[in-house]
């Protein structure tokens, strides 16, 4: 067995509502605000698409979801051979790591970001380097300075999970100018659809100048299909071709492919969810609280506090399941009523 596996543990999901109610003796209903799911749900067209796809369940899926590939290539005006699908971005991060990382090659990202970059780097026996966050955001200068001859891969999570902060087009482009062209930069944009800032990077435009980058998107967050597991990479055909060698042949189901097509085609539904989320997010600005809440471009907010466990427990007693981290609490935005409960807790904590 790979000896590095012993340093790792399996993903720990939070306790279920039922288990939490018992443990904390909670009577009322608990609301899940721990995994950045979109409580408003997917387009109603998705259900119809799933019903139709159910007629062909006995057939293996076509490799790399060709119908969805077509729809996405039209949506972004890119070539089909620039797109690769994963069973969620979790699998895409695994495929990228498995393909690109050889023993002791260096992978750089930030501290306080999505955990799967590190998990997969350790599996591949790579040299994983974390640069501290700066004001809750990726320190792009620090990361650029950490790049050396051994560096193979850089992960930029934009906006960042769990802090919700983002870097704009200028900042990302200035960073890319400093990265040698033999280093691959993956921009994980899992929350891009939720961004309302108008200076958010146009990563597809950057892709035309910087051939060493790729962009990740998922149907799990704003499109509200987390339960179906589908995400994708857009990059240069050469990179896609290499990654495709390690993509498990039938990793995306027929049902997921058709559901994603229906979700993508219903942009009006997406826009509604994004608008509600934006309006709810605004209400977390200027709270009457001394807690530090980072400005968010996502469907969650991060509250920095040394008393993260205490804040998490207080939220829980008020019916809100959040996610405690060592230096703060991440809480997903949900329906207005629950968001109001969250704000009251923060103002009184
Ligand atoms: C949720 C998330 C993912 C994984 O999403 P999938 O459901 O596996 O598509 C990847 N990156 C970030 C930053 C995320 O927050």
Please indicate whether residue 188, judged by its CB atom, sits closer than 6 Å to ligand 1: yes
The answer, yes or no, to whether any atom of ligand 1 lies below 6 A from the CB of 89, is: yes
Residue nearest atom 5 in ligand 1 by C-alpha distance:
89
How high is the pLDDT of residue 181? 97
Strand partners, 292: 304
Asked whether 90 lines ligand 1 (CB < 6 A), one says yes
| Residues forming a β-bridge with 328 | 304, 325
187-222 per-position pLDDT tens digit: 999 999 999 999 999 999 999 999 999 999 999 999
**Which of 89, 138, 186, 195 gets mutated to test ligand 1 (max ligand atoms within 8 A of its CB)?**
89
Is 300 near ligand 1, meaning CB less than 6 Å away?
A: no
Instruction: Tell me the DSSP string of 220-246.
Output: SSTT--TTT--EEEE--HHHHHHHHHH
Average pLDDT of the residues in 335-344: 98
The pLDDT assigned to 17 comes to: 85
Atom of ligand 1 nearest to the CA of 93: 10
Paired with 84 in beta bridges are: 233
Mutation to probe ligand 1, out of 88, 91, 226 (largest number of atoms < 8 A from CB): 88
Give the number of C-alpha atoms closer than 13 A to the C-alpha of residue 82, restricted to the C-beta side.
Answer: 21
- Interval between CA 27 and ligand 1 midpoint (Å): 32
Q: Which of 17-31, 110-124, 239-253 is the least confident region?
A: 17-31
**Smallest Cα–Cα separation from 233: which of 108, 42, 37, 97?**
97
Q: Two tokens at 1?
A: 């067995």
Per-residue pLDDT reduced to its tens digit, 10-26: 988 777 888 888 888 88
pLDDT of 74 above 80 = yes
Query: 114: Cβ below 6 Å to ligand 1?
Result: yes
Cβ-proximal residues to 77 (8 Å cutoff; 6+ apart), any chain: none
**Contact 88 CB / ligand 1 (< 6 Å):** yes
Rg for the chain, CA atoms, rounded:
20
Q: H or E stretch including 129?
A: strand 127-131
Looking at ligand 1, which residue's alpha carbon is closest to its atom 11? 190
Half-sphere exposure of 75 (CA within 13 A, CB side): 17
Ligand 1 proximity of 159 Cβ (cutoff 6 Å): no
Helix (H, G, I), strand (E, B) or coil at 66: helix
Question: Ligand 1 centre from 197 Cα, in Å?
Answer: 21
Average pLDDT over residues 255-276: 98
- The CA 89 to ligand 1 mean position distance, Å, reads 5
Distance 56 CA to ligand 1 centre (A): 28
Torsion of CA 249, 255, 259, 261, to 10 degrees: 50
DSSP bridge partners of 129: 108
What is the 112 CA–ligand 1 centroid distance (Å)? 15
pLDDT at residue 158 is higher than 80 = yes
Residue partners of 296: CB distance under 8 A and separation at least 6: 159, 163, 164, 165, 281, 284, 302
Average pLDDT of span 61-74: 96
pLDDT at position 293, please?
A: 96
**CA of 87 relative to ligand 1 center, distance in Å:** 11
Q: Is 226 in the pocket of ligand 1 (CB under 6 A)?
A: yes
CA dihedral 103, 119, 38, 187 (to 10 degrees): -30
Q: Which of 210, 150, 130, 208 is nearest to 174 (CA)?
A: 210
pLDDT digits (tens, 9 = 90+) for 272-310: 999 999 999 999 998 999 999 999 999 999 999 999 999
Name which of 311, 306, 308, 282 is nearest 296 in CA terms.
282
Among 25-34, 134-143, 202-211, 257-266, which stretch is predicted with the lowest mean pLDDT? Answer: 25-34
* Mean pLDDT rounded to a whole number for the chain: 96
Cβ atoms < 10 Å from Cβ of 105: 16
What CA–CA distance (Å, rounded) separates 85 from 117? 18
Tokens representing 258?
């058709």
pLDDT classification of 225: cutoffs 50, 70, 90: very high
């Amino acid at each position: 067995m790979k000896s590095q596996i012993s340093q790792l543990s399996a993903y720990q999901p939070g306790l279920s509502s039922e288990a939490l109610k018992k443990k904390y003796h909670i009577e009322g209903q608990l609301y899940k605000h721990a995994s950045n799911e979109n409580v408003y749900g997917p387009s109603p067209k998705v259900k119809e698409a799933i019903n139709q796809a159910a007629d062909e369940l006995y057939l293996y899926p076509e490799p790399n979801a060709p119908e969805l590939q077509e729809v996405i290539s039209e949506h972004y005006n890119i070539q089909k051979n620039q797109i690769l699908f994963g069973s969620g971005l979790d699998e895409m991060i695994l495929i990228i790591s498995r393909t690109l990382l050889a023993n002791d090659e260096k992978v750089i990202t930030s501290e306080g970001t999505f955990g799967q970059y590190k998990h997969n780097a350790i599996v591949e026996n790579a040299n994983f380097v974390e640069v501290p966050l700066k004001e809750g955001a990726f320190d792009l200068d620090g990361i650029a300075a950490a790049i050396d001859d051994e560096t193979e891969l850089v992960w930029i999570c934009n906006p960042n999970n769990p802090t919700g902060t983002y870097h704009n087009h200028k900042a990302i482009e200035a960073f890319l100018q400093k990265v040698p062209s033999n280093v691959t930069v993956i921009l994980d944009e899992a929350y891009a659809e939720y961004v309302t800032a108008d200076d958010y990077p146009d990563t597809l435009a950057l892709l035309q100048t910087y051939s060493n980058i790729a962009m990740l998107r998922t149907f799990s967050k704003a499109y509200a299909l987390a339960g179906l597991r589908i995400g994708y990479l857009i990059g240069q055909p050469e990179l896609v071709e290499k990654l495709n060698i390690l993509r498990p042949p039938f990793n995306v189901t027929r049902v997921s492919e058709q559901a994603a097509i229906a979700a993508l085609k219903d942009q009006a539904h997406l826009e509604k969810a994004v608008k509600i989320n934006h309006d709810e997010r605004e209400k977390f600005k200027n709270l009457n609280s001394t807690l530090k809440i980072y400005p968010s471009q996502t469907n969650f907010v991060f509250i920095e506090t040394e008393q993260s466990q205490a804040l998490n427990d207080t939220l829980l007693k008020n019916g809100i399941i959040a996610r405690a981290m060592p230096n703060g609490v991440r809480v997903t935005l949900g329906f207005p009523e629950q968001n109001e409960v969250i704000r009251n807790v923060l103002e009184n904590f």
